[in-house]
Structure 1
Amino acid sequence: MMPPADHDPELPPIATIVATARGAADTALRDFVADLRRRGVRVRGLLQESQPDSSGCRHLLVDIESGRHFPISQQLGSQSNACTLDTAALVEATSVLRRIADEGADLAVFNRFSKLESSGEGFAAEMLQVMSNGIPVLTITPPAYLESWRHFTGGIARELPPDAGALNDWFAA
């Protein structure tokens, strides 16, 4: 983890949970979001869920506010070696994120900053729009994409462990 930088009040608070152990970051994020919502914080965005199925695992994005599911895994058959990511479903899910940019939130959650976002695709444009509107942003970043994340955020984002205390301290600040 990079040492925490003092937060400039002119910059939006931006952070990522570094995904070091499989599933730990998703669980920490999901629990953190649930706790904030119980406290009346207006948290909006997308969480990722994984559900086992006959092909191994199916990934869904869940709209925090409405509960709507966006299945982002395609069923390509057991012999396929192609990427199972359904980019059409990702495009559909951007509506949730564009709404946040237009309507605001106390915290905007993006399920991942990963391969697509590191190349300027996926939810990269929506992340930048939300950040430029001054809305606090929290996401998850796998270690392989941390350098891209740092470049994407201009080095102003915090990197957090998947720990409730660290997440609460960041949000409280």
Structure 2
Amino acid sequence: MDPSPAISPVAPVALDPESADAIEPAISAPAPTGEARTEAARRLLSLLDTTASADPALADVTMARIFRLRAAAARGQPYLSDDDEEAVDGWVLAEQQAARVSPPLRSRAQRLQQIGEALMGGAPVASGDALLTRTLARIAEHEAVRRDAMRLEPARPQRLARNAASVTNDVINKDCNRSRRRLGRHINKSG
């Protein structure tokens, strides 16, 4: 078995004719040696120089996002991007009206609203007294079921009382017998 990881083939990329003509002399020229080689490498690497600077805060935010996404993926849980979370919050605060969400998040909020409408089947969401009435009815129904489940009704009340009396008599008899034995031992030791 080959221990090296499989490398997927990369499609060849062709240079445009102008770039190919510009690079051809460098390829066909003899390879530089010594100081000339070092200078050629310096010039080649200078092409990678940039005036852009890395913002440490941006790097921190990017790394935090990567770690959070990896952790969520490892747990197998679905997750929202930061922008989607902000769009959800904005949509909720805007009373589920995507048009009232701030412009940078409005397109995400509109997609969220479309998903919500598709899930609800276009039916309007109940509001006000109707919602309150339905909610209270569900709570009352749940409480009735819970109360019925907690009710204890003995099958045979007389048998339960007889069993309780029997257990009590057994305990009293054991205590009496134990006390008699102790008293008998005490008398034997004294006498």
TM-score (norm 1): 0.18
The structure with the greater share of residues assigned to strand is 1
Larger Rg: 2
